Amino acid sequence: MTAAVTAPPRAVAPRAGRAASRTRRRRALLWIATHAIAIALALMFLAPVAFLLLTSLMSDEQALTSDLWPHSWNWGNYADVFAKSELLRWTANTLLYATLGTLLTILSSVPVAYALARFRFRGRRLAFLLVITAMMLPPQVVAVPMYLVWARLGLTDSLWPLILPMLFGDAFSIFLLRQFLITIPREYVDAARVDGCSDLRTLLKVIVPMARPAIAAVALFQFFYCWNDYYGPLLYAGVAQEGWTLSLGLATFKAFHSVQWNLTMAATLLVTAPVIIVFFFAQRVFIEGVTLTGVKG
């Protein structure tokens, strides 16, 4: 008898691996096709940042030439920026302006927004109309009288004329917080009053914890505004260099080093990097707060 010849088993594992690889490629292509517009927009926004970073690492001779990739990585450009400017002092002034301005805006705007959202008093609609009017009023309209007031008080050539007015609230912050507070059910406030809470305690213990997304959004808006503000520091601290902020100092640095674009790009990246980092870590709370403030008018 002759033994039966059996065929060797086929290689199943390589075929399964190729099928899984094709499936992954299809999924990747499908994901790219679905998010094609978002990817294109992301590349459009990231291209200037990449150009800024690459130019900041180029030599002075290569900057703004047709070569987009650095021939040599000149990390010393960032050290030259610190050596040729008062970047640390500008950063300290900007942090003082942005931090104090944000804290004072929150402390003054939250009670006003709570009163406009919850209290029923004569003239409430007129007060809210004044807030909207102040929000639409350009700052250049009141620049001259406000400057005369601060000059008589002897506070010019400093950042205090920009910080102290935030003790009285900010129109946009009040509007944004008010839009969020009216979405909070009144039952929470009524329950707090039944428990014997005063209006101030109700605000601090009930409303503020529930309004954290809106407060975070307002804080980020105000922080970014103060960080990027150029007109205010130019008006009040333009002569006194010890009071310059990053935006004003960067404009002056660019004027003095207009032909050294690698240093200008390095300084620009150093100024914008903190804002990008703050928004990257706080974007979820920021987007949530902005979204919730528009639920109810």
pLDDT at res. 296: 45
Q: By the 8 A CB rule, do 144 and 253 touch?
A: no
Rg value, the chain, Cα: 28
Going residue by residue through the chain, which has 297 residues, state the pLDDT in tens, using 9 for 90 and above: 445 555 555 555 566 667 777 788 888 888 888 888 888 888 888 888 888 889 888 888 888 788 888 888 888 889 988 988 888 999 999 999 999 999 999 999 999 999 998 888 888 889 889 888 888 888 888 888 899 999 999 888 889 999 999 998 889 999 989 988 888 888 888 888 888 888 888 888 888 888 888 898 899 889 999 999 999 999 898 777 888 999 988 888 888 777 788 888 898 888 888 888 887 777 776 666 556 555 444
pTM of the model: 0.79
- For residue 271, give every residue at least 6 positions away whose Cβ sits within 8 Å of its Cβ, in sequence order, or none: 246, 247, 250
